[in-house]
């Protein structure tokens, strides 16, 4: 029965396809990726894990495709290769599965400019698509797929995945392997043939949504993926408000805002946080609304101006966090809701008066130390947004009653908002740190590059080893531990160095004697007291206990 394309009905057609057939639809230009999809973001490790799952016969998830007579703007390239335009409708668009299909297409099919792939890729944009299967590796539990980054050719037993689907390519590889002086060549070729067979015969589950309009397609998608959905809310609204006249989509604009904040260390603000900031500035009361079709219909005429206003307001919020609070990186912001609410403030007020600035500083530290936004539900965020907008308009103050700071944490884990609040304070309090020779350390640069691993253990074992007081940012020579580096400090710089890291004299004495418990205990009490003094000066309600648990919380 022919499909009635004009119908508002949408048909859901599940099917099973060979991997090779699905990739063929991409090569022909029939299956395309709509421009409102996020770009390719998978890490190299995710790519090799995908092929490991395929070889083992594990399912890799279904692909969701929307077939429609409507022609939508789509990506011109996949994995860096131009995709031919489809000759007339109907058209097929990937709604879910872009990252997996791009990985498969890029590694199994991709041949840039019609020529063989380079054997010596020099940048990640090239080598990330060059995945090899190591033949002859004995450990069956290990992942046998590798990227090859070296300028030298890979070993002969590295089978390029580019040679797997086409018989002539595999025979060329087999001839090259046969001409080498490796042992067990026949066994290696047999192993390669088995891999090729598994990939060629691998079948994927495909769900096709046929007909109707994009709002129905996205609605069906959201219901099919009610848990763990791959398309994020900002992408859904971007799809539902997409215009085919070449205007940048909401997803494009959000990506542009993220890039613009990268030069000040805030490029890692999640897209969903920017999206919710846009909604707040567009006048939405509930920025966590789950009915994306209704939301898109409400805000579509306000999105363009709201995005422009959000970009300005978000930059002011970031400047406030960096300059007034002292948060150098987005990674350290305790709660994403704080970024959204500050953006909403500057979207309404434009700028902060001196009294507003003082109260915003107190609000930030109070909500960070108290865990106010930990697991905040839709109603709590809605109330907080309403209150922030009223404060920005000068109609009301911020209510900080009942927000009591949590004690100094006893475990270092950067997933904890309480730890991130501690680190922001610590970076301010000990802003000039010295290495073992007395030279300044670029702490923020190390954090940007290494994240939590920049904070290294002093003692590697003991009952309090996970305490934040057992961590310092101190680069050392290769093979030199932090503990040994501190113990071997020259008398000329010793006290200046340890003071710059917040290590009191009592802790230094314990360190010299190798007493881990005393060192960590003395330093923890010292840091906790300094942090309490700062809380007192800001006007935050102090915790009852000096030290306590560090809950792993999130907003």
Q: Which of 147-161, 355-369, 451-465, 471-485 has the highest mean pLDDT?
A: 355-369
Query: Based on the domain organization, do 136 and 277 belong to the same domain?
Result: no
| 555 domain residue, yes or no | no
Query: Based on the domain organization, do 105 and 180 belong to the same domain?
Result: yes
Query: Based on the domain organization, do 266 and 322 belong to the same domain?
Result: yes
pLDDT value of residue 550? 53
pLDDT value of residue 242? 63
Query: Based on the domain organization, do 10 and 76 belong to the same domain?
Result: yes
- Cβ atoms 155, 75 nearer than 8 A: no
Query: Based on the domain organization, do 221 and 92 belong to the same domain?
Result: yes
Query: Based on the domain organization, do 375 and 453 belong to the same domain?
Result: no
| 33 domain residue, yes or no | yes
> 147-151, 281-285, 440-444, 491-495 — which is least confidently predicted?
147-151
Query: Based on the domain organization, do 222 and 247 belong to the same domain?
Result: no
Structure tokens, 431:
């802003």
pLDDT tens by residue, 76-131: 888 888 888 776 667 899 988 889 999 999 999 876 544 444 444 456 777 899 99
Check residue 543 and report its DSSP letter: P
Output the average pLDDT for the chain: 86
- Cβ atoms 118, 150 nearer than 8 A: no
371 or 88, greater pLDDT: 371
Query: Based on the domain organization, do 363 and 266 belong to the same domain?
Result: yes
pLDDT band at 36 (very low <50, low <70, confident <90, very high): confident
Q: Where are the beta strands (DSSP E) in 104-188?
A: 131-134, 145-147, 158-160
Q: What percent of the chain has pLDDT over 70?
A: 85
pLDDT tens by residue, 406-438: 999 999 998 899 999 999 999 999 999 999 999
Query: Based on the domain organization, do 251 and 331 belong to the same domain?
Result: yes
- pLDDT > 60? residue 2: no
- pLDDT > 80? residue 194: yes
pLDDT value of residue 547? 65
pLDDT value of residue 21? 94
| 316 domain residue, yes or no | yes
Query: Based on the domain organization, do 26 and 80 belong to the same domain?
Result: yes
pLDDT value of residue 142? 86
* Tally of domains within the chain: 3
Cα torsion 53, 57, 59, 64: sign: positive
Query: Based on the domain organization, do 381 and 474 belong to the same domain?
Result: no
Give the integer Cα–Cα distance in Å for 180 and 326.
60
Q: Of 393, 248, 238, give the one whose Cα is nearest residue 308.
A: 248
* H/E segment holding residue 361: helix 354-370
Contacts of 51-56 spanning 24+ positions with Cβ under 8 A: 51/107, 51/131, 51/133, 51/145, 51/161, 52/143, 52/144, 52/145, 54/19, 54/198, 54/199, 54/202, 55/133, 55/144, 55/145, 55/195, 55/198, 55/199
- pTM here is 0.70
Query: Based on the domain organization, do 372 and 489 belong to the same domain?
Result: no
pLDDT band at 229 (very low <50, low <70, confident <90, very high): very low
Q: Which residues contact 543 (CB under 8 A, 6 or more apart)?
A: 369, 404, 405, 406, 407, 532
| 400 domain residue, yes or no | no
- pLDDT > 80? residue 4: no
pLDDT band at 5 (very low <50, low <70, confident <90, very high): very low
Give helix 292-299 / helix 233-240 axis angle, nearest 10°: 50
| 163 domain residue, yes or no | yes
Q: Where are the alpha helices (DSSP H) in 233-335?
A: 233-240, 250-261, 271-281, 292-299, 303-319
Domain end marker among 231, 266, 292? 231
Q: Of 482, 501, 492, give the one whose Cα is nearest residue 433.
A: 501
Give the integer Cα–Cα distance in Å for 157 and 238.
46
pLDDT value of residue 243? 63
Average pLDDT over residues 153-161: 93
- pLDDT > 70? residue 551: no
Domain end marker among 345, 367, 392? 392
| 34 domain residue, yes or no | yes
| 355 domain residue, yes or no | yes
Q: Which domain holds residue 62?
A: 1-231
Domain end marker among 201, 231, 261? 231
């Amino acid at each position: 029965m022919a499909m009635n394309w004009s119908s508002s009905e949408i048909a859901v057609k599940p099917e099973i396809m060979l991997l090779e057939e699905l990739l063929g639809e991409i090569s022909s230009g029939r299956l395309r990726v709509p421009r409102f999809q996020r770009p390719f973001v998978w890490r190299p490790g995710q790519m090799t894990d995908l092929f490991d799952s395929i070889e083992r016969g594990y399912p890799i998830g279904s692909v969701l495709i929307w077939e429609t007579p409507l022609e939508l703007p789509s990506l011109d390239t996949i994995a860096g290769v131009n995709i031919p335009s489809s000759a007339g409708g109907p058209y097929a668009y990937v709604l879910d599965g872009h990252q997996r299909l791009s990985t498969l297409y890029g590694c199994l099919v991709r041949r840039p400019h019609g020529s063989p792939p380079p054997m010596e890729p020099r940048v990640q944009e090239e080598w990330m698509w060059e995945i090899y299967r190591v033949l002859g590796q004995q450990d069956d539990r290990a992942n046998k797929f590798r990227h090859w980054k070296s300028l030298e050719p890979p070993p002969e037993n590295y089978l390029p995945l580019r040679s797997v689907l086409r018989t002539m390519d595999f025979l060329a590889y087999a001839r090259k392997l046969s001409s080498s002086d490796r042992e067990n060549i026949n066994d290696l070729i047999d192993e390669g043939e088995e891999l090729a067979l598994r990939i060629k015969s691998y079948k994927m589950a495909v769900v096709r949504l046929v007909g109707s309009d994009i709002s129905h397609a996205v609605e069906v998608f959201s219901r099919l993926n009610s848990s763990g959905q791959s398309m994020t809310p900002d992408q859904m609204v971007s799809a539902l408000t997409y215009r085919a006249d070449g205007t940048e989509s909401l997803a494009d604009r959000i990506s542009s805002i993220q890039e613009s904040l990268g030069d000040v260390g805030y490029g890692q603000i999640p897209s969903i946080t920017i999206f919710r900031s846009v909604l707040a500035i567009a006048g939405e009361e509930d920025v966590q609304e789950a009915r994306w079709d209704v939301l898109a219909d409400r805000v579509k005429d306000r999105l363009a101006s709201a995005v422009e206003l959000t970009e300005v307001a978000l930059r002011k919020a970031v400047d406030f966090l960096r300059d007034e609070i002292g948060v150098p990186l987005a990674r350290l912001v305790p709660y994403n809701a704080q970024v959204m609410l500050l953006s909403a403030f500057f979207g309404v007020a434009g700028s902060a008066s001196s009294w507003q600035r003082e109260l915003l500083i107190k609000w930030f530290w109070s909500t960070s130390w108290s865990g106010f936004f930990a697991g905040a539900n839709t109603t709590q965020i809605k109330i907080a947004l309403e209150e922030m907008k009223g404060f920005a308009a000068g109609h009301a103050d911020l209510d900080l009653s009942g927000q009591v700071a949590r004690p100094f944490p006893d475990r270092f884990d950067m997933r904890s908002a309480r730890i991130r609040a501690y680190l922001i304070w610590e970076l301010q309090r000990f802003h000039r740190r010295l290495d073992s020779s007395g030279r300044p350390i670029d702490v923020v640069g190390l954090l940007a590059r290494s994240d939590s691993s920049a904070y290294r253990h002093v003692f590697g074992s003991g009952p309090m080893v996970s305490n934040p007081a057992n961590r310092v940012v101190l680069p050392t020579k290769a093979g030199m531990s932090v503990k040994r580096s501190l113990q071997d400090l020259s008398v000329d710089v010793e006290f200046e160095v340890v003071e710059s890291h917040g290590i009191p004299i009592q802790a230094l004495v314990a360190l010299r004697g190798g007493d881990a418990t005393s060192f960590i205990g003395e330093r923890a009490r010292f840091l906790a007291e300094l942090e309490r003094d700062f809380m007192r000066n800001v006007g935050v309600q102090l915790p009852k206990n000096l030290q306590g648990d560090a809950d792993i919380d999130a907003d």
